[in-house]
Structure 1
Amino acid sequence: MPKVKLDHAFCLTAQCEPGKKRTDYYDLSTTGFTLACHQSGYKSYEFRYQDAYGKLKQRRIAPYGDVSFSEAQKIAKKWRAEVIMGGDPAAQKAEKKAVPTYADLAAMHLEYAQLHLRRPENVERVIRVHLLPRFARERADAISTQDIAKWLAEKRKAGLAPATVEKLKVTLGRSFQLAVKRGLVAANPVQGIPRERFNNVRDRYLTPAEAARLISAAEQSKNPQLANLITLFLLTGLRKRELLDARWEHVDHGRQSLFLPMTKNGSGRHVPLSRAALDVIDRLPRFDNCPWLVPNPATRKPYTDLKHPFDTARRLAGLPDITPHSLRHSAASFMVNAGVDLFAVGKILGHKNVASSQRYSHLANSTLMAAVEAGAAKMNGNNS
């Protein structure tokens, strides 16, 4: 192993010694600084040293030509100083390589979602469509708060809805949160990003005439169950998955109720069914060995989504601004306008707290106003 004074000129012409596969030239001025020359012609700057246990180790600085001689020598001197102070450059590199990528965090997050979430496919879609294309190959400790904030701002600028951008942030933050709990990373960079304030409330309610128009349009749909589903949404106020995943065994005609074993708020509840709702249920087609209340007749399984047939029906009905969730709001508005108090409406809809029902308070005020006007008319002598 020849020892020479390494410099730019020597490294430029240095070659592997004849008959050998590799020759290492050790610098006389910087301990451990080495030029490795291979029989193939490949050359690289290396650094050799003994760790705290006396074990000989080596770490590559860079292939020859990728950095200048002075830059390589500077790195070798820096690492030499670290060794003298008890450091271990090779161990630092191994430790860096051991840091998981975001793809590793995503796989862990998806595994957690499969075990603990009722609808893991929602998390899977956000990770697959948005997070992995941007962060998959990045080391988790290299993803900064600034990087994430900039990316979210770009998503908003590209036209994504504020609620969607917030979902991306929450999902990414959950990936890091799980990694922190398992000791894979030291910190969650998403925590430093403030929550964007936005109003995601959609106060679109169907009038009785609009509801009838939508049902009529749904009856013309190629989807044979669409009219049944829309009618039941309007009569019950159920969430989309609550109705799509409903089973025959949970319909109780005697109690006039539908039992939901698992809801958005995590516990089962009984939803009261009006006589009109039960009449619709009694007319539903039943399929052999099929437990679902309103399944897809082709697959005998619950619908995964109703986007296309619903879009067609709402356009035909001249109601382009409504969504499937508008049907739930409309069911609530019909009850409130009929004089039902907000507490009862909240119980029927499965609201966990009173605040969720307060969005319908202006409707309740309208009903109360009609009541006081009627009382005033009575007091003023209108006894007819």
Structure 2
Amino acid sequence: MPIEATTKNGERRYRWTFERVIEGKRVRKTKLLARGLSARQADELARKWEAKEYAKANGMEKATVTIGECVRVHVQDEGATWKDKKARGQILVKYAAEYQDQDAMDLYKWSVAFADYMRSDKDRQGRPKRPSSAKTINNTLGYIRAAIKYAHVKGLIPHDETGRMVMPKFSNERHIYEGRRTMLTIAKACKDKETRAAVRIAFYSGMRMSEILRAKVTARGFDLGTTKNGRPRIVPIHPKIAATARRIRFTITAKALKYRWTVVRARAGFDTLRFHDLRHSAASEMINAGVDLYTVGGVLGHKTAASTKRYAHLVTDKLAEAVNKIGKRE
């Protein structure tokens, strides 16, 4: 039967330990039970699990591969290569109790219930918690989906059932477009030359922050090598930043630049403006100057036209301007 155990966080939880010799094979299992279970509930759950272990060992029931097992294999094999491994690891640990014992081949009802729990303003013990946004829920389920897909590729599970997962839809489009005057106001507020240069380059190139910091200046333009979408990319250098591009050598880290950006944007009176909005503003400037969406997507490094569609309404606005000129003479 389960015994009480103390976790690393100092809380009291029940732990189930199963160690038997069945049909000549030693079977060892241990699990930390969910928070808030009474001794009676823990005992009932333990008896259920023990019955399943005997059934598996006797060939009466196929072993269930859990999402928890899929996640462990994925983290162990691939975790070191993830760029977001710290953030992803924290999320997977935070919600481990919700997926640890879930059958990886039965995902529909579980994904619906899990999403509902993340949206809830109360935890399993009825205590207040912060509801998660659709984007956060989608990202969390995405991490779990990736683990299950990996487990299928490795042969841990016979079928990939992730198509049955219900993923909340959300829109991450942000339509903030600022002009040259705003960019110059923020640039003038920069006391640090690297931050000022990064702001100007972002507006005149449409590059992401990470791309600006690693770009190599060549005769053809900013050479980004292999980009986010896996293709080589060259961004032409605008005459307004040609001298800056030749002179500046970035030594600042992305973390430091993000911090300095929050300081200078507030100093300039644009508290909610994101650095990435300068990229959107570059796209807006090109479209307003008559550049077609295909070319804008090429400058920004979009892999598909779908990524550039967020700017389609700007083209529609220009078409309206054109139509309104019908019948008018200069």
State the TM-score, normalizing by the size of structure 1: 0.62
**CA distance in structure 1 between the partners assigned to 2:72 and 2:27 by the alignment:** 31
Kindly state the Cα deviation for residue 315 of structure 1 after the two structures are TM-superposed.
1.9
Kindly state the Cα deviation for residue 109 of structure 1 after the two structures are TM-superposed.
3.8
**Residue type matched to 2:92 in 1?**
L
5+ residue gaps, structure 2: 1-18, 29-38, 121-129
Kindly state the Cα deviation for residue 105 of structure 1 after the two structures are TM-superposed.
2.9
**CA distance in structure 2 between the partners assigned to 1:236 and 1:346 by the alignment:** 12
For residue 172 of structure 1, the aligned residue among 128, 144, 152 is 144
Kindly state the Cα deviation for residue 100 of structure 1 after the two structures are TM-superposed.
7.1
Kindly state the Cα deviation for residue 47 of structure 1 after the two structures are TM-superposed.
9.5
Contact kept, 8 Å, 1:58 with 1:90, in 2: the verdict is no
CA separation of 1:99 and 1:165: change in aligned 2, threshold 3 A: closer
Counterpart of 2:13?
A: none
Kindly state the Cα deviation for residue 331 of structure 1 after the two structures are TM-superposed.
0.4
5+ residue gaps, structure 1: 1-45, 61-65, 80-86, 287-293, 297-301
The 5 Å alignment of 1:18-57 reads 51=23
For residue 153 of structure 2, the aligned residue among 181, 186, 199 is 181
Q: String of CA shifts for 1:135-190, please: whole Å, max 9, x gaps.
A: 27934637963444333333334343322221111111111111122222345565
The 5 Å alignment of 1:134-283 reads 134-135=95-96, 138-139=100-101, 141=103, 145=107, 146-157=109-120, 158-186=130-158, 190-217=162-189, 219-220=190-191, 223-247=192-216, 251-253=217-219, 255=220, 257-283=221-247
Q: String of CA shifts for 1:86-143, please: whole Å, max 9, x gaps.
A: x9764569x86x967726734534633555xxxx222x13432111232279346379
**CA distance in structure 2 between the partners assigned to 1:143 and 1:155 by the alignment:** 21
Contact kept, 8 Å, 1:173 with 1:188, in 2: the verdict is no
Asked if 1:108 corresponds to 2:74, the answer is yes
**CA distance in structure 2 between the partners assigned to 1:354 and 1:173 by the alignment:** 26
**CA distance in structure 2 between the partners assigned to 1:189 and 1:108 by the alignment:** 16
Contact kept, 8 Å, 1:102 with 1:138, in 2: the verdict is yes
Counterpart of 2:14?
A: none
CA separation of 1:205 and 1:159: change in aligned 2, threshold 3 A: farther
Paired positions, count: 283
SS at match of 1:141: coil
Counterpart of 2:7?
A: none
**CA distance in structure 1 between the partners assigned to 2:25 and 2:320 by the alignment:** 85
- How big is the alpha-carbon RMSD for the aligned residues of Structure 1 and Structure 2? 3.9
**CA distance in structure 2 between the partners assigned to 1:216 and 1:227 by the alignment:** 7
Q: String of CA shifts for 1:282-311, please: whole Å, max 9, x gaps.
A: 231x4xxxxxxx221xxxxx4246432222
Counterpart of 1:295?
A: 251
Percent identity between the two aligned chains: 26
CA separation of 1:339 and 1:179: change in aligned 2, threshold 3 A: same
SS at match of 1:270: strand
**CA distance in structure 1 between the partners assigned to 2:25 and 2:72 by the alignment:** 34
CA separation of 1:339 and 1:197: change in aligned 2, threshold 3 A: same
CA separation of 1:141 and 1:356: change in aligned 2, threshold 3 A: closer
Asked which structure has the greater CA Rg, the reply is 1
CA separation of 1:47 and 1:194: change in aligned 2, threshold 3 A: closer
Kindly state the Cα deviation for residue 358 of structure 1 after the two structures are TM-superposed.
2.7
Contact kept, 8 Å, 1:180 with 1:187, in 2: the verdict is yes
